[in-house]
A and B are shown apart, each in its own frame.
Chain A
Amino acid sequence: MGGCMSYALINSKTVVRLSIALCLLFAVQSLLAEPLKRFQWHGFFNQALIKTSANHFFGPSDNFSAEFTEMGLNGSFKPTPDWQFSGQVLSRRAGALNDGSPQLDYGFVDYRLSSDMDGLWGVRLGRVKNPMGFYNETRDVAHTRPSILLPQSTYLDRSRDMYLSTDAVYLYGEERTDYGDYTLNVGVGYPRADSIELERVLMLNKDWAGHLQAEIPSYLGRLIYDWQEGRVRVGLTWVKAQIDFKTGAGDLIPSGSICIEPRIFSLQYNSEFWSLTAEYTEQKTVTEGLGFLIADEARFSESYYMQAQYRFAPKWEWVLRYDVQYFGRDDKTGKKLASSSPILQSFGLPAVVAHSRFSKDSTIGLRWNVAPQWMLQAEYHRVNGTSWLALTENPDPLATKPFWDLYTLAVSYRF
């Protein structure tokens, strides 16, 4: 009798519990079923092996370096067609430039103000990848690059951190017509300027006691014209960023500012088997208040590359590129600046060698899309000049070689 009672009791309890559990399950399912459909996640991985005949690129590459690893994971949630929340965590190891510690690569909310067949307007708020040229926004994703290393003249890896992303507000718009689409991005925000490499690049190749920071907001704008969904693409990028130097104890350089203003003109043609790309950058750098070693003046640098990609078989592609960079538009050989080297050295600063003021890189590369998610790449660079070598990796300019070769192999995965 007691057994029967307890059985009934258990039974009714079980029924109640079961029905509560079922209700919860249905509730959770109906709550999550929709959102889960609207959530996407993707990721990527890339590992390269680098060998140089001289000089260091991403680690001790004059031996062999495997210090180029990229890993990323992103998620996006689109509750309605008008709202999107996106974020990506990135781990990048690149010689002495990045140590692989995970970073918030981007994280922002995107809201469409208006959208119809003919175009759209929207805003983004948060950490946004800088829309510069054709490749900057996805520069760390191997599958989206034309080669293992991006053309350094335009996508300088040693200054990558500053150009990468901005904590900003962006307005974007798109106008679609029967003869092409126009896409505009305009943003205001703070770049991430606090890197030792950047300090060396901008401040006479020395790690000062003081530090760099972006105190006033930067502006960035890009307009892209696409004909037939990218058959022909024309882009124009304009950036104005100010980085301030806060002097530290014993520094020879007082507090001052550096204003950087690159303008990038981009052009691409895509056919079934060919992609031809060229980008030209002119950068104006204005220094102010940095004392007697860095005169108050405007300097211009110039860089460009021309690139051909040829898909010669369904899973195969080769790339050919000529990539040029001149730090001094009116001192292309670097000899003028190198002549001031003794003065700098007399203040205990590193020497300036002429070949550190330019680079001419001829590249040939091969890409094999082994499977939709896997890719193998090999490439060879013949370089004259060292203007894009990282100063933290090559601290003594006199030890660098002006003519050098770079060989690299990479395996990449993405989903």
Chain B
Amino acid sequence: MTNAFVPMEWSSGHKNDAAMALFLGESRVMRIRLGGLLLALLLGCGVLQADEVIIVNSTVADTLPKRALRAIFGMRLGRWPESNHEITVFVLADENPLHAQFCKTTLNVFPHQLRRAWDRLVFSGTGQAPIRLSSEAEMLQRVANTPGAIGYLSKDKVDGRVHVLRIN
């Protein structure tokens, strides 16, 4: 989503180059194009931050280093760092757009990488798969009601029943 946004802006600016150059001259076009790109990047970053958030049960501390987050969604970390509480991981289906976006923008992995890692654990007996839920409504409810739970949600669907986790 975010990624598609930047190139789109960029290419639409690009198409009109010739026509704009006639009216404005080269340097002006350059400035507009750069400005447009900058705006697109800023907006892009905004969208990147705003679209989905990591949510945790209210029993969980609200900051975590990134490597721990990856280990949690890779199903290789069983307990929360300080409280030592058991972690329960909830996800949406692989083909759910929010899942794909969460993987790419928050975890910096592709859904197929995560799927492969879970399959390796599940079919060699060395781990378990995360619990797959069917909707964001269910995600909110299960994270809110399961101590030590973690999941993700569109920002506008979050309410006071869960905490938003910050990554440091």
Contact = CB atoms under 8 A, between A and B. Distances in A.
Given A82-B78, A87-B125, A144-B123, A230 B68 contact: no
Interface residues of A, number: 48
Contact of A40 (B108, B110, B122): B122
Interface in B109-125: 109-110, 112-114, 116-117, 119-120, 122-125
Contacts of B65: 117
A271 B104 CA distance: 11
A372 B109 contact: no
B76 A120 contact: yes
B151 interface: no
A110 B95 contact: no
Interface in A94-110: 106-108, 110
Interface in A55-88: 72, 74, 76, 78, 80-82, 84, 86-88
B125 A106 contact: yes
B87 interface: yes
B129 interface: yes
Contacts of A144: 116, 119-120, 123
B18 interface: no
Contacts of A88: 123, 125
Contact of A86 (B77, B87, B125): B125
A74 B127 CA distance: 12
Contact of B125 (A76, A176, A272): A76
B107 interface: yes
A331 interface: no
A381 B86 CA distance: 48
A115 B112 CA distance: 26
A288 interface: no
Contacts of B134: none
A44 B126 contact: no
Interface residues of B, number: 37
B81 A117 contact: yes
A74 B128 contact: no
B109 A231 contact: yes
B107 A229 contact: yes
Contacts of B32: none
A138 B119 contact: yes
Interface string A317-335: 0000000000000000000
Nearest to A176: B67
B50 interface: no
Given A229-B107, A270-B110, A44 B128 contact: no
Nearest to A106: B125
A116 B81 contact: yes
A174 interface: yes
B125 A129 contact: yes
Contacts of B110: 270-272
A106 B126 CA distance: 10
A106 B110 CA distance: 29
Contacts of A230: 109, 113, 116-117
Interface in A138-190: 138, 141, 143-144, 174, 176-178, 181
A178 B127 contact: no
B28 interface: no
A12 interface: no
Interface of A: 40, 42, 44, 72, 74, 76, 78, 80-82, 84, 86-88, 106-108, 110, 112, 115-118, 120, 124, 128-129, 137-138, 141, 143-144, 174, 176-178, 181, 228-231, 270-272, 275, 311, 314, 372
Interface of B: 65-68, 70-71, 74, 76-79, 81, 86-87, 93-95, 104, 107-110, 112-114, 116-117, 119-120, 122-129
